[in-house]
Amino acid sequence: MKKSSTLTTTTSMPTSPTLSTQTLSASKISLTSSRCGSTAGSVCGSAGSGSGRSACQSPVRPGSGCVDALKAKREEIEIETVLEKAKFYTSVCLGTTAILSVFTFLFLIPFVVDPAISTIIADYDPVPVTCIVIDHIYAEGIKNCSWSSCREGCTSSLTKCHQLFVNYTRIPFSEWERNPRDLDTVNWDVSYTKFLINSEGCGYPPTTNCSVFARQYGFSHIGEPFPCYYSRAYPEVVIGRYSWENNLYHLILSLIIPNVLFAISIGVLSYWYCPCCEKACNKSSRVYAEKFPTKEEIVNCMKCNTEKSLSLNVF
């Protein structure tokens, strides 16, 4: 009786605080399943939709799933790295484009946008009328050049200037060429008014050359009829070059191109880096419960990995 009691007491008390052999083996199995279970589950998930149970019941070599998983993980990391680099360089290009678009638009405002709008407001008659130069003054010095019919550079100071004065009649120049009239008998609509090369009275080489302009209309050509354009809003304004199509074309290009590039660049950058835009654009229509796998999917994947199911049964 004493021996039996002694045996009972010894079996009831643990001999040492260390883990048992069964517990250690179970922990090893669980670690192995945690490393390789994701690979088996993905294989089962992809095969289960196409071939059913046959794919899940196929034998798997021990350790081969882990190697495949590592290779797949490395490939995913490399792809993510390439995508991150591409996103970074694209973001730099988009940011540079947005900044350059702003500066380009600010540069175009005084040189293209403002003159084009002024030309539209002046409302020039698209049909050229008949003009004659009656006076040509050439002056030098800032004090003597308060204005100029032609200026090379719209921001440069006037040190030399050609001042041309004209008379014009609203008779179309095409009609004047068919039926010339005596200049002394013509009833001029506006007399002795300033004549400008264009609506701004200035330009940049090579399209604007004031020496050629002066030789074309002044000096020995005084008194010869030529086509010109007058403003219907300001009748005293007369210019030598005008085209409604070109004016509208340059205005639209200068307004659309910089603003569209700026809007696209800022829109893409906001979508990538603005948390509010990303949440608003990536709203999921799925129900909360649909984001988790179903019971059948879990059971099918558990059948593929016997080691994982064994570790779960042990615990």
Of the candidates 268, 239, 267, 252, the one whose C-alpha atom is nearest the C-alpha of residue 119 is 239
Residue type, 118: S
Alpha helices, H only, 13-63: 21-48, 53-56
Q: Determine, yes or no, domain membership for 43.
A: no
Both 247 and 206 in one domain: the answer is no
Sequence-distant (6+) residues with CB within 8 A of 187 are: 169
Both 170 and 267 in one domain: the answer is no
Q: Determine, yes or no, domain membership for 51.
A: no
Cis peptide before 59 (omega within 30 of 0): no
Q: Determine, yes or no, domain membership for 284.
A: no
> What pLDDT is stored for residue 155 in this prediction?
83
Question: Left if phi > 0, otherwise alpha if psi is -120 to 50, otherwise beta: which for 46?
Answer: alpha
pLDDT (tens, 9 = 90+) of the chain, 315 residues, equals 334 443 333 334 444 444 444 444 444 444 444 444 444 444 444 434 444 444 444 444 545 567 777 778 788 888 888 888 999 999 999 999 999 999 999 999 988 999 899 999 999 999 999 999 999 999 998 888 989 999 988 887 888 899 999 999 999 999 999 999 888 889 999 999 999 999 989 888 888 899 999 999 988 889 999 999 999 999 999 999 999 999 999 999 999 999 999 999 999 999 888 877 656 555 555 544 455 566 676 676 666 655 544 444 444
Both 168 and 100 in one domain: the answer is no
Both 274 and 221 in one domain: the answer is no
The whole domain housing 210 covers 125-241
What is residue 131's three-state secondary structure? Answer: strand
Q: What angle do CA 268, 269, 274 make, to 5 degrees?
A: 115
Both 139 and 237 in one domain: the answer is yes
Both 257 and 198 in one domain: the answer is no
What's the CA gap between 208 and 111, in Å, rounded?
14
Q: Determine, yes or no, domain membership for 90.
A: yes
Q: Which residues pair with 196 in a beta bridge?
A: 239
> What pLDDT is stored for residue 282 in this prediction?
59
Q: Determine, yes or no, domain membership for 30.
A: no
Q: Determine, yes or no, domain membership for 55.
A: no
Both 87 and 186 in one domain: the answer is no
pTM (2 decimals)?
0.60
Q: Determine, yes or no, domain membership for 61.
A: no
* Structure-block tokens of residue 159: 């040190």
Count of residues in the chain: 315
Compute how many other C-beta atoms are within 10 angstroms of the C-beta atom of residue 41. 20
Both 110 and 130 in one domain: the answer is no
Number of domains, the chain: 2
Residue type, 4: S
Both 235 and 142 in one domain: the answer is yes
Q: Determine, yes or no, domain membership for 36.
A: no
Is 167 in contact with 154 (CB distance < 8 Å)? Answer: no
Both 150 and 236 in one domain: the answer is yes
Both 205 and 175 in one domain: the answer is yes
DSSP state for residue 183 in the 8-state scheme: G
Both 113 and 135 in one domain: the answer is no
